[in-house]
Amino acid sequence: VVLGNNSTAESSDVVSTSSYTYNNGVTEKFAGTAPVSTVSVGTAGQERTITHVAAGRVTADSTDAVNGSQLYGTNQQIDVLHRDVRHVEKESNRGDARAAALAALHPLQFDPDHKVQVMGGYGHYKGENALALGVGYYPKENLLLTAGTTVSGDLMANVGVSYKFGENKTLAKISPASYNALEQRVDTLEAQNKKLQETVDMLVQKLNEK
């Protein structure tokens, strides 16, 4: 069917489209896949638009034409979806940065003189940054309690308990307190040895002067 001045039909053949396969491999099948003719309202170089078209039905089996307002509404929803996806992606990156900051909190080994310790951590992921603070406490040598929280953006926190089972035969013989006492004794002996060496040097010097 040819409508309008100077309108022509490309050929007498009618081309149909039954389906379309997207890049993700999903195939969408269409309704109205067996046309018996086609309508031309122009010709090559003299294309025309069709105005005053009513909104067609938008259903899985509809063969109605749709107008610009319907496509505009669809485009608006696509824009909203795009913004939502971008927001989710940004929040996901922030969450990964916060998780990295919490993962950087590492307590030191048990020290009977310093049972409480403070930890800090920094995380970065795809342009997003986060900071975290944590605290560790040893109620006793084989029990560690930890807690951490982010200090930037939405709150992310964790708590942990670490417990060592069994007896360490080596540490059972020499306790951490004994280690500290031994270190202090060594420091004292080194200081006494230094003074003794100074005294010997002074006596040798006086003997040489005679």
pLDDT digits (tens, 9 = 90+) for 135-181: 999 999 899 999 999 998 889 999 999 998 877 666 556 667 777 88
Summarised one tens digit per residue, pLDDT across range 65-82 is 999 999 999 999 999 999
Percent of the chain exceeding pLDDT 70 equals 94
DSSP string, the chain: -B-STT---S-S------EEE-TTS-EEE-S----S---BS-BTTB-----SPPPPP-STT------HHHHHHHHHHHHHHHHHHHHHHHHHHHHHHHHHHHHT--PPPP-TT--EEEEEEEEEETTEEEEEEEEEEEEETTEEEEEEEESSSS--EEEEEEE--S--HHHHHS-HHHHHHHHHHHHHHHHHHHHHHHHHHHHHHHHHH-
Higher pLDDT, 133 or 2: 133
Percent of residues, the chain, with pLDDT higher than 90: 57
pLDDT-based confidence at 19, cuts 50/70/90? very high
What b/e string do you get for 5-42 counting C-beta neighbours within 10 Å, with b at 16 or more?
eeeeeeeeeeeeeeeeeeeeeeeeeeeeeeeeeeeeeb
Q: Poorest-confidence range of 56-60, 124-128, 152-156, 170-174?
A: 170-174
What residues does each domain of the chain span?
A: 1-48, 63-166, 175-210
The tens digit of pLDDT for each residue in 169-208 reads 665 566 677 778 888 888 999 998 888 888 888 888 877 7
| pLDDT value at 16 more than 90 | no
pLDDT band at 98 (very low <50, low <70, confident <90, very high): very high
Rounded distance, CA 41 to CA 5, Å?
A: 8
Mean pLDDT of the chain, nearest integer: 89
63-166 belongs to CATH 3.30.1300.30: yes
